[in-house]
Amino acid sequence: MTINASNCLKKNGFVFITADMFSKCEMATSMFMKLQDEWERLPPDAYADMIRTKRFRRYSKLNYSQHAGLTTDIVTDPTFYQSAEINSVYGGIDRRFPQIQQSTIQSPTFLRIFKVVVEALPSHLRKSFDSSRSNPDRQALKASAHQIRCTCDKATAVSPAPEGIHRDGHQFLSITLICRENVNGGISRIYDNKGRLVFEQKLTSPLDTIVINDLTMMHSISEITCGNDANEGKRDILIFDFDLSP
């Protein structure tokens, strides 16, 4: 799976890793449900228009070593910045979100998702990521995590990413579905650099994951509406982004 995902990403600029490609024996259902529960206590995204984008969010920069596993990077400035050029709706300002809770980051399931995504990255990036393996003072590959919930109700179609077709402004990013309930729409679309649609997929099974080369591809997510006669729907995702440090 690792070799195929990595080859796919290299060849196409993206790879879709289906939920069933995650090793179920390593991902106990009870542990995954515990991780899902971490999305129940997300604070509102203070920067989002809560009418058109009902978004709840935490954000952390991460460190990883084989010895310590995943930890929150408390040294690096936790500010999340995207240029106005990259994000026409929310870009151009420093955004500060509450850090992801330790109980989330320390979850074996969270680490498993992270490792599956890292294994899909090009080998030279993969090798440079473990700070304990190369130069302990300098981590060549930087990672951040975004823990996000979007909700919708009967009244309004909600746009999880109102910036439309866009890049996130990183080298690579991944989107993993954690939970989806009473939601219609929310189709992930991937485009080449000329804006031509090359792939679309609705993430429906928890753990469905897309890894994207953000330098060569663009992406979008369609509006979500509330389905199944329910009063509220929710779509929970975990995003990792990756950058090489200068």
* Spatial CA neighbour of 75 closest among 118, 117, 137, 132: 137
The minimum distance between CB 82 and Fe ion, in angstroms, equals: 9
The smaller minimum CB distance to Fe ion, of residues 118 and 190, is found at: 190
Backbone angles phi, psi at 182, to 5 degrees: 55, 40
Main-chain phi, psi angles of 24, to 5 degrees: -65, -30
* Total number of residues that touch Fe ion (CB under 5 A): 1
Q: Least Å distance between CB 2 and Fe ion?
A: 25
Min dist CB 126 to Fe ion, Å, is 22
CB of 234 vs Fe ion, minimal distance in Å: 19
Nearer to Fe ion, 17 or 63 (CB): 17
For Fe ion, give the closer residue by CB, 57 or 107: 57
Q: Which residues of 109-120 are buried (b: 16+ CB within 10 A; e: fewer)?
A: bbebbbebbbbb
Q: DSSP alpha helices (H): ranges in the chain?
A: 2-12, 29-37, 102-105, 108-120, 123-129
CB of 182 to Fe ion, least distance (A): 23
Q: How far apart are CA 152 and CA 169, in angstroms?
A: 27
> CB of 111 within 8 A of CB of 103?
no
Q: Which is nearer to Fe ion, 145 or 182 (CB)?
A: 145
In the chain, the amino acid numbered 21 is M
Residues 139-168 that bind Fe ion (CB under 5 A): 168
Min dist CB 34 to Fe ion, Å, is: 27
Lay out the site mask for Fe ion across 161-200 (x = CB under 5 A, - = otherwise).
Answer: -------x--------------------------------
Residue in the shown chain whose Cβ atom is closest to Fe ion: 168
- Could you give the CA distance from residue 228 to residue 226 in angstroms, rounded to a whole number? 7
Rank residues 78 and 160 by Cβ distance to Fe ion and give the closer one: 160
What are the CA-CA distances from residue 154 to residues 95, 149, 158, 226, 243 (Å)? 30, 17, 10, 5, 38
Least separation in angstroms between residue 7's CB and Fe ion is 24
Nearer to Fe ion, 38 or 168 (CB): 168
Chain-centre distance for alpha carbon 159: 16
Nearer to Fe ion by C-beta: 239 or 244? 239
- Judged by the rule CB under 5 A, the positions of this chain that interact with Fe ion are 168
